[in-house]
Structure 1
Amino acid sequence: MAGEIVYADLRHLGDGSSPAEKRYAPDSCPWWHGLLLKAGGLGQFILLVLVVVLSVQVFQGSPQPVVMRVPQPGDEIQGRNQKEQYMFSSLVRYFCKPQVESPTAYAGCKLCPQDWQLHGEGCYWLSEELGNWTQGTKSCKNQDSQLVVLQEKKEREHIKVITGKSPPPVWIGVRSHQKEWRWVDDTPFNPKMFGTSLEEMGEGCGTLKAKGFEVHRCDAKHKWVCKKNPFQLYPITAGGEEKHNASI
Protein backbone atom coordinates (compact mmCIF):
# COMPACT_ATOMS: atom_id res chain seq x y z
CA MET A 1 0.00 0.00 0.00
CA ALA A 2 2.78 2.27 0.85
CA GLY A 3 4.46 1.44 -2.44
CA GLU A 4 1.43 2.50 -4.45
CA ILE A 5 1.33 5.87 -2.68
CA VAL A 6 4.94 6.51 -3.56
CA TYR A 7 4.33 5.61 -7.21
CA ALA A 8 1.35 7.94 -7.44
CA ASP A 9 3.28 10.76 -5.90
CA LEU A 10 6.11 10.33 -8.41
CA ARG A 11 3.61 10.31 -11.28
CA HIS A 12 2.14 13.63 -10.17
CA LEU A 13 5.60 15.12 -9.84
CA GLY A 14 6.45 14.21 -13.46
CA ASP A 15 3.46 16.02 -14.99
CA GLY A 16 5.58 19.17 -15.68
CA SER A 17 4.53 22.73 -14.91
CA SER A 18 2.21 23.75 -12.22
CA PRO A 19 -1.41 24.65 -13.03
CA ALA A 20 -0.54 28.33 -12.78
CA GLU A 21 2.21 28.00 -15.37
CA LYS A 22 -0.08 26.12 -17.72
CA ARG A 23 -2.75 28.83 -17.38
CA TYR A 24 -0.35 31.63 -18.39
CA ALA A 25 1.58 29.82 -21.14
CA PRO A 26 1.55 31.82 -24.39
CA ASP A 27 -0.44 30.52 -27.38
CA SER A 28 1.32 29.53 -30.64
CA CYS A 29 1.95 32.41 -33.23
CA PRO A 30 -0.73 32.97 -35.97
CA TRP A 31 0.13 31.73 -39.49
CA TRP A 32 0.35 35.22 -41.03
CA HIS A 33 3.16 36.26 -38.69
CA GLY A 34 5.53 34.07 -40.64
CA LEU A 35 4.28 35.45 -43.95
CA LEU A 36 4.99 39.00 -42.81
CA LEU A 37 8.47 38.04 -41.73
CA LYS A 38 9.18 36.50 -45.14
CA ALA A 39 7.79 39.53 -46.98
CA GLY A 40 9.89 41.85 -44.87
CA GLY A 41 12.97 39.85 -45.62
CA LEU A 42 12.24 39.89 -49.34
CA GLY A 43 11.72 43.68 -49.27
CA GLN A 44 15.06 44.17 -47.55
CA PHE A 45 16.73 42.01 -50.18
CA ILE A 46 15.19 44.02 -53.05
CA LEU A 47 16.22 47.29 -51.38
CA LEU A 48 19.75 45.98 -51.06
CA VAL A 49 19.84 45.06 -54.76
CA LEU A 50 18.63 48.56 -55.74
CA VAL A 51 21.31 50.18 -53.60
CA VAL A 52 23.98 48.06 -55.28
CA VAL A 53 22.70 48.88 -58.80
CA LEU A 54 22.55 52.62 -58.11
CA SER A 55 26.03 52.53 -56.64
CA VAL A 56 27.37 50.89 -59.81
CA GLN A 57 25.67 53.53 -62.02
CA VAL A 58 27.09 56.37 -59.96
CA PHE A 59 30.54 54.81 -60.17
CA GLN A 60 30.34 54.39 -63.98
CA GLY A 61 28.80 57.79 -64.64
CA SER A 62 25.46 59.36 -63.91
CA PRO A 63 22.78 58.33 -66.41
CA GLN A 64 20.96 60.95 -68.47
CA PRO A 65 17.79 62.06 -66.72
CA VAL A 66 14.50 61.26 -68.39
CA VAL A 67 12.53 64.47 -68.84
CA MET A 68 8.79 64.12 -69.10
CA ARG A 69 7.43 67.05 -71.12
CA VAL A 70 3.99 68.25 -70.18
CA PRO A 71 1.85 68.85 -73.34
CA GLN A 72 1.35 72.53 -73.99
CA PRO A 73 -1.83 74.17 -75.35
CA GLY A 74 -0.10 75.12 -78.62
CA ASP A 75 1.28 71.66 -79.39
CA GLU A 76 -1.80 70.60 -81.37
CA ILE A 77 -1.72 73.78 -83.48
CA GLN A 78 2.00 73.39 -84.12
CA GLY A 79 1.51 69.80 -85.22
CA ARG A 80 -1.30 70.82 -87.57
CA ASN A 81 0.87 73.59 -89.08
CA GLN A 82 3.66 71.09 -89.71
CA LYS A 83 1.23 68.79 -91.51
CA GLU A 84 0.00 71.69 -93.65
CA GLN A 85 3.57 72.69 -94.51
CA TYR A 86 4.35 69.12 -95.53
CA MET A 87 1.19 68.96 -97.65
CA PHE A 88 1.98 72.18 -99.53
CA SER A 89 5.61 71.15 -100.00
CA SER A 90 4.36 67.94 -101.59
CA LEU A 91 2.01 69.90 -103.86
CA VAL A 92 4.86 72.17 -104.98
CA ARG A 93 7.04 69.18 -105.87
CA TYR A 94 4.16 67.47 -107.69
CA PHE A 95 2.74 70.35 -109.74
CA CYS A 96 5.61 72.82 -110.14
CA LYS A 97 8.66 72.50 -112.34
CA PRO A 98 12.09 72.71 -110.68
CA GLN A 99 14.32 75.66 -111.38
CA VAL A 100 16.79 75.24 -114.23
CA GLU A 101 19.80 76.27 -112.15
CA SER A 102 18.85 73.93 -109.30
CA PRO A 103 16.85 70.78 -110.11
CA THR A 104 16.03 70.28 -106.42
CA ALA A 105 14.66 73.82 -105.94
CA TYR A 106 11.16 74.87 -106.89
CA ALA A 107 10.14 78.44 -107.72
CA GLY A 108 6.44 77.79 -107.28
CA CYS A 109 3.75 77.85 -109.92
CA LYS A 110 0.21 78.90 -110.81
CA LEU A 111 -2.58 76.35 -111.02
CA CYS A 112 -5.95 76.46 -112.79
CA PRO A 113 -9.04 74.30 -112.26
CA GLN A 114 -9.71 71.36 -114.52
CA ASP A 115 -10.70 72.35 -118.10
CA TRP A 116 -9.31 75.87 -117.58
CA GLN A 117 -6.26 77.19 -119.47
CA LEU A 118 -3.46 79.10 -117.79
CA HIS A 119 -2.11 82.10 -119.65
CA GLY A 120 0.01 84.76 -118.01
CA GLU A 121 -1.71 85.84 -114.81
CA GLY A 122 -5.11 84.34 -115.53
CA CYS A 123 -7.12 81.16 -116.00
CA TYR A 124 -9.50 81.07 -118.99
CA TRP A 125 -12.49 78.88 -119.71
CA LEU A 126 -14.56 78.63 -122.91
CA SER A 127 -18.13 77.41 -122.49
CA GLU A 128 -19.47 74.54 -124.57
CA GLU A 129 -23.11 75.62 -124.57
CA LEU A 130 -24.67 78.71 -126.09
CA GLY A 131 -26.49 81.40 -124.16
CA ASN A 132 -27.24 85.11 -124.02
CA TRP A 133 -24.93 87.64 -122.40
CA THR A 134 -26.70 87.49 -119.01
CA GLN A 135 -26.50 83.69 -118.94
CA GLY A 136 -22.79 83.88 -119.64
CA THR A 137 -22.34 86.38 -116.81
CA LYS A 138 -24.15 84.11 -114.34
CA SER A 139 -22.21 81.05 -115.49
CA CYS A 140 -18.90 82.77 -114.81
CA LYS A 141 -20.08 84.05 -111.43
CA ASN A 142 -21.09 80.53 -110.39
CA GLN A 143 -17.49 79.48 -111.03
CA ASP A 144 -16.02 82.31 -108.92
CA SER A 145 -14.97 84.16 -112.07
CA GLN A 146 -16.30 86.78 -114.48
CA LEU A 147 -16.68 87.34 -118.21
CA VAL A 148 -13.23 88.13 -119.51
CA VAL A 149 -12.09 91.76 -119.36
CA LEU A 150 -9.58 92.58 -122.11
CA GLN A 151 -7.22 95.43 -121.27
CA GLU A 152 -4.14 94.25 -123.20
CA LYS A 153 -3.57 93.25 -126.80
CA LYS A 154 -1.72 90.06 -125.83
CA GLU A 155 -4.69 88.89 -123.82
CA ARG A 156 -7.03 89.63 -126.72
CA GLU A 157 -4.89 87.54 -129.03
CA HIS A 158 -4.89 84.70 -126.52
CA ILE A 159 -8.69 84.62 -126.54
CA LYS A 160 -8.54 84.10 -130.29
CA VAL A 161 -6.21 81.14 -129.67
CA ILE A 162 -8.70 79.64 -127.21
CA THR A 163 -11.67 80.03 -129.54
CA GLY A 164 -9.89 78.74 -132.68
CA LYS A 165 -8.78 80.10 -136.05
CA SER A 166 -12.22 81.00 -137.43
CA PRO A 167 -14.46 81.09 -134.38
CA PRO A 168 -17.98 82.42 -134.12
CA PRO A 169 -18.39 85.42 -131.81
CA VAL A 170 -17.95 84.80 -128.07
CA TRP A 171 -19.29 86.97 -125.28
CA ILE A 172 -16.79 89.10 -123.39
CA GLY A 173 -17.35 91.20 -120.29
CA VAL A 174 -18.46 94.52 -121.77
CA ARG A 175 -21.87 96.03 -122.54
CA SER A 176 -23.55 99.39 -122.96
CA HIS A 177 -25.86 101.04 -120.49
CA GLN A 178 -27.56 104.26 -121.55
CA LYS A 179 -25.00 104.66 -124.34
CA GLU A 180 -22.09 104.21 -121.93
CA TRP A 181 -19.83 101.21 -122.43
CA ARG A 182 -18.16 99.64 -119.38
CA TRP A 183 -16.50 96.37 -118.48
CA VAL A 184 -18.05 94.07 -115.88
CA ASP A 185 -15.38 95.13 -113.37
CA ASP A 186 -16.75 98.69 -113.78
CA THR A 187 -13.68 99.99 -115.65
CA PRO A 188 -14.26 102.19 -118.73
CA PHE A 189 -14.14 100.67 -122.19
CA ASN A 190 -11.60 102.04 -124.68
CA PRO A 191 -12.91 101.48 -128.23
CA LYS A 192 -9.61 102.54 -129.79
CA MET A 193 -8.03 99.38 -128.41
CA PHE A 194 -10.28 97.43 -130.78
CA GLY A 195 -10.00 99.84 -133.71
CA THR A 196 -13.52 101.20 -133.44
CA SER A 197 -15.42 104.18 -132.05
CA LEU A 198 -18.45 104.67 -129.84
CA GLU A 199 -20.38 106.13 -132.77
CA GLU A 200 -19.94 102.90 -134.71
CA MET A 201 -20.81 100.65 -131.78
CA GLY A 202 -24.35 101.63 -130.88
CA GLU A 203 -26.10 99.73 -128.06
CA GLY A 204 -25.72 96.09 -127.08
CA CYS A 205 -23.19 93.64 -125.62
CA GLY A 206 -19.63 93.01 -126.72
CA THR A 207 -18.32 89.94 -128.52
CA LEU A 208 -14.92 88.97 -129.85
CA LYS A 209 -14.26 87.02 -133.05
CA ALA A 210 -11.35 86.50 -135.41
CA LYS A 211 -11.81 89.87 -137.12
CA GLY A 212 -12.02 91.73 -133.84
CA PHE A 213 -14.64 93.38 -131.65
CA GLU A 214 -18.33 93.28 -132.58
CA VAL A 215 -21.51 94.51 -130.93
CA HIS A 216 -24.46 92.09 -130.80
CA ARG A 217 -27.87 92.11 -129.25
CA CYS A 218 -27.57 90.97 -125.63
CA ASP A 219 -30.21 88.25 -126.13
CA ALA A 220 -28.28 86.60 -128.97
CA LYS A 221 -26.88 83.09 -128.42
CA HIS A 222 -23.11 82.70 -128.24
CA LYS A 223 -20.46 80.91 -126.24
CA TRP A 224 -18.60 82.95 -123.62
CA VAL A 225 -15.16 83.15 -122.01
CA CYS A 226 -14.66 83.34 -118.24
CA LYS A 227 -11.52 84.45 -116.45
CA LYS A 228 -10.27 84.02 -112.87
CA ASN A 229 -7.00 84.34 -111.00
CA PRO A 230 -4.94 81.16 -110.67
CA PHE A 231 -4.11 79.39 -107.43
CA GLN A 232 -0.55 80.43 -106.68
CA LEU A 233 1.62 77.82 -105.01
CA TYR A 234 5.01 78.76 -103.60
CA PRO A 235 7.75 76.76 -101.87
CA ILE A 236 8.60 77.17 -98.19
CA THR A 237 10.04 80.59 -97.44
CA ALA A 238 12.96 81.45 -95.18
CA GLY A 239 10.53 81.83 -92.30
CA GLY A 240 9.45 78.21 -92.70
CA GLU A 241 5.94 79.01 -93.91
CA GLU A 242 4.23 77.96 -97.11
CA LYS A 243 2.77 80.75 -99.22
CA HIS A 244 -0.44 80.04 -101.07
CA ASN A 245 -3.09 82.24 -102.54
CA ALA A 246 -6.41 81.30 -104.02
CA SER A 247 -7.97 84.70 -104.57
CA ILE A 248 -9.95 85.34 -107.74
Structure 2
Amino acid sequence: MAEDIFYADIKFASQPHSSSLHSPSQQLAVPQHSRWIQIALWAACIGNVILVIAVIVLALQLEAEKGKIVNNGGCNASTDKFQAFLRLNFCNQKQNRSSDSSTCKVCPIQWQLHRDKCYWLSENIKTWNESQHDCSTRDSQLLVIQDKEEMDFIKNITKHAAHWIGLSRLKLEKKWIWITGSQLDQSLFPEPDYAEGNSCAGIRNKVTSDTCSIEHRWICQKDPLLL
Protein backbone atom coordinates (compact mmCIF):
# COMPACT_ATOMS: atom_id res chain seq x y z
CA MET A 1 0.00 0.00 0.00
CA ALA A 2 2.75 2.42 0.88
CA GLU A 3 4.67 1.51 -2.23
CA ASP A 4 1.71 2.27 -4.45
CA ILE A 5 1.30 5.72 -2.96
CA PHE A 6 4.95 6.54 -3.40
CA TYR A 7 4.85 5.55 -7.08
CA ALA A 8 1.86 7.70 -7.71
CA ASP A 9 3.50 10.67 -6.07
CA ILE A 10 6.59 10.32 -8.17
CA LYS A 11 4.59 10.02 -11.38
CA PHE A 12 2.57 13.11 -10.57
CA ALA A 13 5.68 15.12 -9.80
CA SER A 14 7.42 14.11 -12.98
CA GLN A 15 4.59 15.26 -15.38
CA PRO A 16 5.09 19.02 -14.94
CA HIS A 17 8.80 18.63 -15.33
CA SER A 18 8.54 16.86 -18.71
CA SER A 19 5.97 19.30 -20.20
CA SER A 20 7.62 22.54 -19.12
CA LEU A 21 11.15 21.90 -20.35
CA HIS A 22 12.23 22.64 -23.99
CA SER A 23 15.59 22.48 -25.66
CA PRO A 24 17.31 25.79 -26.63
CA SER A 25 17.05 24.92 -30.32
CA GLN A 26 13.27 24.51 -30.05
CA GLN A 27 12.92 27.86 -28.30
CA LEU A 28 14.89 29.68 -31.06
CA ALA A 29 13.18 27.96 -34.00
CA VAL A 30 9.98 30.03 -34.00
CA PRO A 31 11.50 33.54 -34.05
CA GLN A 32 14.21 32.52 -36.56
CA HIS A 33 11.58 31.10 -38.98
CA SER A 34 9.53 34.30 -38.75
CA ARG A 35 12.63 36.40 -39.56
CA TRP A 36 13.22 34.46 -42.81
CA ILE A 37 9.59 35.04 -43.88
CA GLN A 38 10.03 38.79 -43.38
CA ILE A 39 13.24 38.79 -45.42
CA ALA A 40 11.53 36.90 -48.26
CA LEU A 41 8.60 39.36 -48.30
CA TRP A 42 10.93 42.35 -48.45
CA ALA A 43 12.89 40.74 -51.29
CA ALA A 44 9.67 40.13 -53.24
CA CYS A 45 8.57 43.75 -52.78
CA ILE A 46 11.93 45.06 -53.96
CA GLY A 47 11.79 42.73 -56.99
CA ASN A 48 8.33 44.02 -57.97
CA VAL A 49 9.52 47.63 -57.72
CA ILE A 50 12.50 46.87 -59.95
CA LEU A 51 10.24 45.13 -62.48
CA VAL A 52 7.85 48.12 -62.64
CA ILE A 53 10.77 50.50 -63.15
CA ALA A 54 12.16 48.31 -65.97
CA VAL A 55 8.78 48.24 -67.73
CA ILE A 56 8.46 52.04 -67.53
CA VAL A 57 11.97 52.54 -68.90
CA LEU A 58 11.29 50.12 -71.77
CA ALA A 59 8.01 51.89 -72.65
CA LEU A 60 9.79 55.26 -72.72
CA GLN A 61 12.48 53.85 -75.00
CA LEU A 62 9.88 52.43 -77.42
CA GLU A 63 8.03 55.74 -77.51
CA ALA A 64 11.28 57.56 -78.25
CA GLU A 65 12.07 55.18 -81.14
CA LYS A 66 8.56 55.64 -82.50
CA GLY A 67 9.02 59.39 -82.44
CA LYS A 68 12.29 59.07 -84.35
CA ILE A 69 10.61 57.00 -87.07
CA VAL A 70 7.77 59.50 -87.46
CA ASN A 71 10.14 62.49 -87.49
CA ASN A 72 12.31 60.85 -90.11
CA GLY A 73 9.31 60.03 -92.28
CA GLY A 74 9.85 56.28 -91.95
CA CYS A 75 6.22 55.22 -92.45
CA ASN A 76 5.60 57.70 -95.24
CA ALA A 77 8.84 56.73 -96.94
CA SER A 78 7.90 53.04 -96.87
CA THR A 79 4.43 53.80 -98.27
CA ASP A 80 5.88 55.95 -101.03
CA LYS A 81 8.36 53.26 -102.01
CA PHE A 82 5.62 50.63 -102.10
CA GLN A 83 3.41 52.83 -104.28
CA ALA A 84 6.34 53.53 -106.59
CA PHE A 85 6.96 49.78 -106.88
CA LEU A 86 3.31 49.14 -107.80
CA ARG A 87 3.30 51.94 -110.36
CA LEU A 88 6.49 50.67 -111.93
CA ASN A 89 5.19 47.10 -112.27
CA PHE A 90 1.51 47.67 -112.98
CA CYS A 91 1.38 51.10 -114.60
CA ASN A 92 4.76 51.24 -116.35
CA GLN A 93 5.51 54.48 -114.53
CA LYS A 94 9.13 55.28 -113.83
CA GLN A 95 10.24 57.12 -110.76
CA ASN A 96 10.40 60.75 -111.78
CA ARG A 97 8.96 64.01 -110.57
CA SER A 98 5.98 63.98 -112.87
CA SER A 99 4.85 60.43 -112.03
CA ASP A 100 5.40 60.77 -108.28
CA SER A 101 2.48 63.18 -108.00
CA SER A 102 0.22 61.42 -110.54
CA THR A 103 -2.19 58.58 -109.83
CA CYS A 104 -2.24 55.20 -111.47
CA LYS A 105 -5.47 53.29 -112.26
CA VAL A 106 -5.37 49.53 -111.99
CA CYS A 107 -8.05 46.94 -112.84
CA PRO A 108 -8.27 43.31 -111.67
CA ILE A 109 -7.07 40.51 -113.91
CA GLN A 110 -9.34 39.93 -116.95
CA TRP A 111 -10.82 43.42 -116.62
CA GLN A 112 -10.22 46.18 -119.18
CA LEU A 113 -9.41 49.73 -118.17
CA HIS A 114 -10.88 52.61 -120.13
CA ARG A 115 -10.83 56.14 -118.74
CA ASP A 116 -12.35 55.90 -115.25
CA LYS A 117 -13.86 52.42 -115.40
CA CYS A 118 -12.92 48.77 -115.39
CA TYR A 119 -14.96 46.52 -117.73
CA TRP A 120 -15.53 42.78 -117.63
CA LEU A 121 -17.22 40.94 -120.52
CA SER A 122 -18.77 37.53 -119.92
CA GLU A 123 -18.29 34.48 -122.12
CA ASN A 124 -21.42 32.69 -120.89
CA ILE A 125 -25.06 33.72 -121.26
CA LYS A 126 -27.60 34.48 -118.54
CA THR A 127 -30.88 36.33 -118.06
CA TRP A 128 -30.78 40.01 -117.18
CA ASN A 129 -31.42 39.40 -113.48
CA GLU A 130 -28.85 36.60 -113.34
CA SER A 131 -26.34 38.85 -115.09
CA GLN A 132 -26.83 41.61 -112.52
CA HIS A 133 -26.41 39.08 -109.71
CA ASP A 134 -23.16 37.84 -111.24
CA CYS A 135 -21.84 41.41 -111.40
CA SER A 136 -22.74 41.85 -107.73
CA THR A 137 -20.65 38.81 -106.81
CA ARG A 138 -17.74 40.52 -108.56
CA ASP A 139 -18.21 43.69 -106.48
CA SER A 140 -19.53 45.52 -109.56
CA GLN A 141 -22.73 46.26 -111.47
CA LEU A 142 -24.10 45.99 -114.98
CA LEU A 143 -22.78 48.63 -117.35
CA VAL A 144 -24.20 52.15 -117.16
CA ILE A 145 -23.27 54.10 -120.31
CA GLN A 146 -22.46 57.73 -119.54
CA ASP A 147 -21.63 59.31 -122.90
CA LYS A 148 -21.25 58.60 -126.62
CA GLU A 149 -17.51 58.05 -126.40
CA GLU A 150 -18.05 55.25 -123.91
CA MET A 151 -20.80 53.76 -126.08
CA ASP A 152 -18.45 53.70 -129.08
CA PHE A 153 -15.82 51.97 -126.96
CA ILE A 154 -18.34 49.33 -125.83
CA LYS A 155 -19.48 48.67 -129.39
CA ASN A 156 -15.87 48.05 -130.34
CA ILE A 157 -15.06 45.56 -127.55
CA THR A 158 -18.34 43.60 -127.74
CA LYS A 159 -17.52 42.54 -131.31
CA HIS A 160 -21.14 42.66 -132.47
CA ALA A 161 -22.37 40.17 -129.82
CA ALA A 162 -25.39 41.20 -127.75
CA HIS A 163 -24.54 42.04 -124.11
CA TRP A 164 -26.90 43.01 -121.32
CA ILE A 165 -26.40 46.48 -119.82
CA GLY A 166 -27.85 48.00 -116.66
CA LEU A 167 -30.96 49.52 -118.26
CA SER A 168 -34.51 48.19 -117.93
CA ARG A 169 -38.12 49.21 -118.40
CA LEU A 170 -40.57 47.70 -115.97
CA LYS A 171 -44.17 47.31 -117.00
CA LEU A 172 -45.45 49.31 -114.04
CA GLU A 173 -42.94 52.18 -114.36
CA LYS A 174 -43.30 52.70 -118.12
CA LYS A 175 -39.91 54.38 -118.44
CA TRP A 176 -36.32 53.28 -118.97
CA ILE A 177 -34.31 53.37 -115.74
CA TRP A 178 -30.62 52.66 -115.16
CA ILE A 179 -29.79 50.41 -112.22
CA THR A 180 -28.37 53.49 -110.50
CA GLY A 181 -31.92 54.88 -110.36
CA SER A 182 -31.45 57.62 -112.97
CA GLN A 183 -33.73 57.91 -115.99
CA LEU A 184 -32.45 57.41 -119.53
CA ASP A 185 -31.24 60.58 -121.22
CA GLN A 186 -32.46 60.16 -124.81
CA SER A 187 -29.82 62.57 -126.07
CA LEU A 188 -27.37 59.71 -125.50
CA PHE A 189 -29.36 57.23 -127.64
CA PRO A 190 -33.03 56.88 -128.58
CA GLU A 191 -35.36 54.98 -126.28
CA PRO A 192 -35.28 51.30 -127.32
CA ASP A 193 -38.38 49.47 -128.42
CA TYR A 194 -39.98 47.45 -125.67
CA ALA A 195 -42.31 44.51 -125.19
CA GLU A 196 -45.62 44.55 -123.37
CA GLY A 197 -44.06 43.13 -120.21
CA ASN A 198 -40.73 43.89 -118.57
CA SER A 199 -37.99 44.81 -121.03
CA CYS A 200 -34.23 44.95 -120.51
CA ALA A 201 -31.63 46.67 -122.66
CA GLY A 202 -28.58 45.23 -124.34
CA ILE A 203 -25.98 46.58 -126.71
CA ARG A 204 -24.86 45.14 -130.04
CA ASN A 205 -24.28 47.66 -132.82
CA LYS A 206 -26.71 49.86 -130.94
CA VAL A 207 -28.78 49.73 -127.77
CA THR A 208 -31.77 47.44 -128.20
CA SER A 209 -34.25 45.79 -125.87
CA ASP A 210 -35.37 42.23 -125.26
CA THR A 211 -37.45 40.24 -122.81
CA CYS A 212 -35.52 40.12 -119.53
CA SER A 213 -35.81 36.33 -119.35
CA ILE A 214 -33.85 35.91 -122.59
CA GLU A 215 -30.21 34.86 -122.11
CA HIS A 216 -27.37 37.03 -123.40
CA ARG A 217 -23.82 37.82 -122.46
CA TRP A 218 -23.34 40.78 -120.14
CA ILE A 219 -20.93 43.57 -119.19
CA CYS A 220 -19.93 44.45 -115.62
CA GLN A 221 -18.28 47.69 -114.57
CA LYS A 222 -16.44 48.86 -111.44
CA ASP A 223 -14.13 51.65 -110.36
CA PRO A 224 -10.38 51.09 -110.77
CA LEU A 225 -7.92 50.97 -107.91
CA LEU A 226 -5.98 54.20 -107.58
CA LEU A 227 -2.26 53.96 -106.80
> What is the TM-score of this pair, normalised by structure 1?
0.57
> CA offset at residue 181 of structure 1?
1.5
Identify the residue that residue 27 of structure 1 maps to in structure 2.
Answer: none
CA distance in 2, matches of 1:216, 1:188: 18
Question: CA 1:187 to 1:75, structure 2 compared with 1: closer, same or farther past 3 Å?
Answer: same
Matched to 1:87, the amino acid is: F
Deviations 1:138-184 (A, max 9, x none): 111111110000120111111111111xx231100011122122001
For the pair 1:222 / 2:189, whether they are aligned, the reply is no
- Gaps (5+ residues) in structure 2? 1-59
**Of the candidates 134, 140, 155, which is equivalent to residue 145 of structure 1?**
140
Confirm or deny: 8 A CA contact 2:143 2:220 kept in the other structure: yes
Matched to 2:108, the amino acid is: P
Deviations 1:192-215 (A, max 9, x none): 422346xx43440001111x1111
Matched to 1:227, the amino acid is: Q
CA distance in 2, matches of 1:191, 1:216: 18
Identify the residue that residue 168 of structure 1 maps to in structure 2.
Answer: 161
**Of the candidates 152, 155, 160, which is equivalent to residue 157 of structure 1?**
152
Segments ≥4 residues shifted beyond 4 Å: 76-82, 102-105
Confirm or deny: 8 A CA contact 2:194 2:210 kept in the other structure: no
Secondary structure at the aligned position of 1:193 is classed as coil
Confirm or deny: 8 A CA contact 1:96 1:108 kept in the other structure: no
Confirm or deny: 8 A CA contact 2:87 2:93 kept in the other structure: no
Superposition pairs of residues 7-26 of structure 1, within 5 angstroms? none
Identify the residue that residue 186 of structure 1 maps to in structure 2.
Answer: 181
Secondary structure at the aligned position of 1:226 is classed as strand
Query: Matched residues, percent identical?
Result: 31
CA distance in 2, matches of 1:117, 1:94: 17
Identify the residue that residue 111 of structure 1 maps to in structure 2.
Answer: 106
Confirm or deny: 8 A CA contact 1:149 1:183 kept in the other structure: yes
CA distance in 2, matches of 1:223, 1:144: 18
For the pair 1:83 / 2:73, whether they are aligned, the reply is no
For the pair 1:232 / 2:223, whether they are aligned, the reply is no
Count of residue pairs brought into register by the alignment: 158
Secondary structure at the aligned position of 1:123 is classed as strand
CA distance in 1, matches of 2:77, 2:144: 39
Larger radius of gyration: 1
Identify the residue that residue 202 of structure 2 maps to in structure 1.
Answer: 207
> CA offset at residue 82 of structure 1?
4.5
- Gaps (5+ residues) in structure 1? 1-68, 234-248
Matched to 2:167, the amino acid is: V
Question: CA 1:213 to 1:90, structure 2 compared with 1: closer, same or farther past 3 Å?
Answer: same
Q: CA RMSD in A?
A: 2.6
> CA offset at residue 222 of structure 1?
0.4
Question: CA 1:230 to 1:73, structure 2 compared with 1: closer, same or farther past 3 Å?
Answer: farther
Identify the residue that residue 190 of structure 2 maps to in structure 1.
Answer: 195
> CA offset at residue 88 of structure 1?
1.8
> CA offset at residue 191 of structure 1?
3.5
Secondary structure at the aligned position of 1:92 is classed as helix
Secondary structure at the aligned position of 1:72 is classed as helix
